[in-house]
Amino acid sequence: MIRVAAVTPDSIAADLGLAPGTELLRVNDRELGDFLDWEFLTADEEFLLLARLPDGGVVEYDIERPEGRPLGVQLEPPRIRRCGNRCDFCFVDGLPEGLRETLYVRDDDYRLSFRYGNFATLTNLKPRDIQRILEYRLSPLYVSVHATDPVIRRRILRNPRAPEIIPQLTEFAGGGIRFHAQIVLQPGVNDGAVLEKSLEDLYRLEEIVLTVAVVPVGLTNFSKLDMTREPGEAECRAAAAMVHRFAERALAARGQRWVHGSDELYLNANLPLPPAEWYGDFEQAENGVGSVRYLEQRIAAAGALPPLPGRKIGVLTGAAMARLMPKVLQTLTAATGAKFELVVLENDLFGPSVTTAALLPGRAFRRALEGRDDLDLALLPADAVNDDGLFLDDVPFDQLAQGAPTRVRLSSDFADVLAKAFEA
């Protein structure tokens, strides 16, 4: 059973009288367990829907949906599948106490992998999940492989029952499922020869594995630092060199590079980022792979920006972008005439080793903006807040913006804000 959270006005659902709180029970006699059932079973133009209305009445609707007309049902959020692993580098272990409860949930959910590109390990699948992945053709899925050697993978996941990943991917591939993979690199565990074997095994799966990202493990002051560590410059260089060898091989044989290092890998290795064309369609940009080049492309694609001579604009970000951002800001200065100031923030919630802008707490931004009435505008990274507009430490963006001595905006690619920031 799933429940309606909201109904779009003037939609089919509104015409039928479905209201928030309505329980959606069955479609064409198939029981509804979650949003996937709902989306796939209602994809036809005609179907029978059995629902229990908030007043308790059970109604069967014979629905005919004109092509393209949305049903207009928003569902209550699904119950997230919990993770059965205990990786030494788990982000949840790296959180300080006292943050909002949802941050401490270890999710490992193939449904969110399909829908949002979250990485899953596929270690908690039940026979029914496997059947659904195949029946609904949930492809591509994003899979945390880490190592193809089953013993090493079980050690990384701290899960002795984790199934072997290569047979698992191969079995799904028989049903047409494809994968984006990631390898989170733990020095001394899955780098060197282990990484080479993992890349070789994944490469041999040919079109089954669409892309692979190699990402250095990121830890905080609260992580299990006695169990694992971040790779150093030489280790990142070695991994980047291996990525390049496999990428060149794939390019020669298949016409695309297939494997990429994350931006963090190059930063830690003290190597320049590859050019934009290296990343193909930027399929793992959300995973920090080519995200800087992607940002540059989006700025370029936005076309002409408004002239902003004399304006002083602060760009607040984490240390990871500090080395890369000046070039982006030079481009913006040339395009607008504004003066951009890069404000690099240290993460006082997780510790200085956490340099990603998206993980900066609201209080760090608030502090950085104190007394900054010399700025005409301050741009904050849009991915530092969740869908409710809250930073990781629950500071609401709206509250922060109201209390700031200057105009503050969230921005994904600068162009999204600069075009209208100074309109009346």
- Contact residues: ligand SF4, CB under 6 A: 83, 85-87, 90, 92, 106, 108, 121
CB of 141 to ligand SF4, least distance (A): 14
129 vs 348, beta carbon nearer ligand SF4: 129
32 vs 143, beta carbon nearer ligand SF4: 143
Question: Where does residue 90 rank: exposed (0-12), middle (13-18), buried (19+ CB within 10 A)?
Answer: middle
Q: Strand 259-261 to strand 312-318: parallel, antiparallel, or no bridges (unpaired)?
A: unpaired
12 vs 143, beta carbon nearer ligand SF4: 143
**Strand pairing partners for 172?**
none
Residue located via tokens 């449904």: 111
CB of 155 to ligand SF4, least distance (A): 12
CB of 120 to ligand SF4, least distance (A): 8
CB of 317 to ligand SF4, least distance (A): 25
CB of 47 to ligand SF4, least distance (A): 36
14 vs 225, beta carbon nearer ligand SF4: 225
Residue closest to 114 by CA, chosen among 99, 98, 129, 95: 129
CB atoms within 10 A of CB 278: 16
What is the three-state SS of the chain?
Answer: CEEEEEECCCCHHHHHCCCCCCEEEEECCEECCCHHHHHHHCCCCEEEEEEECCCCCEEEEEEECCCCCCCCEEECCCCCCECCCCCCCCCCCCCCCCCCHHHHCCECCHHHHHHHCCCECCCCCCHHHHHHHHHCCCCCEEEECCCCCHHHHHHHHCCCCCCCHHHHHHHHHCCCCCEEEEEEECCCCCCHHHHHHHHHHHHHCHHHEEEEEEEECCCCCCCCCCCCCCCCHHHHHHHHHHHHHHHHHHHHHHCCCCEEECHHHHHHHCCCCCCHHHHCCCCCHHHCCCHHHHHHHHHHHCCCCCCCCCCEEEEEEEHHHCCCHHHHHHHHHHHHCCEEEEEEECCCCCCCCCCCHHHCCHHHHHHHHCCCCCCCEEEEEHHHCCCCCECCCCCEHHHHHHHCCCCEEEECCCHHHHCCCCCC
CB of 26 to ligand SF4, least distance (A): 33
22 vs 148, beta carbon nearer ligand SF4: 148
CB of 188 to ligand SF4, least distance (A): 18
Supply 424's token pair: 């009346």
CB of 351 to ligand SF4, least distance (A): 18
144 vs 411, beta carbon nearer ligand SF4: 144
Residue closest to 314 by CA, chosen among 242, 386, 371: 371
106 vs 323, beta carbon nearer ligand SF4: 106
Residue closest to 262 by CA, chosen among 249, 243, 248, 245: 243
50 vs 90, beta carbon nearer ligand SF4: 90
CB of 93 to ligand SF4, least distance (A): 8
CB of 86 to ligand SF4, least distance (A): 5
42 vs 159, beta carbon nearer ligand SF4: 159
89 vs 282, beta carbon nearer ligand SF4: 89
CB of 146 to ligand SF4, least distance (A): 9
105 vs 241, beta carbon nearer ligand SF4: 105
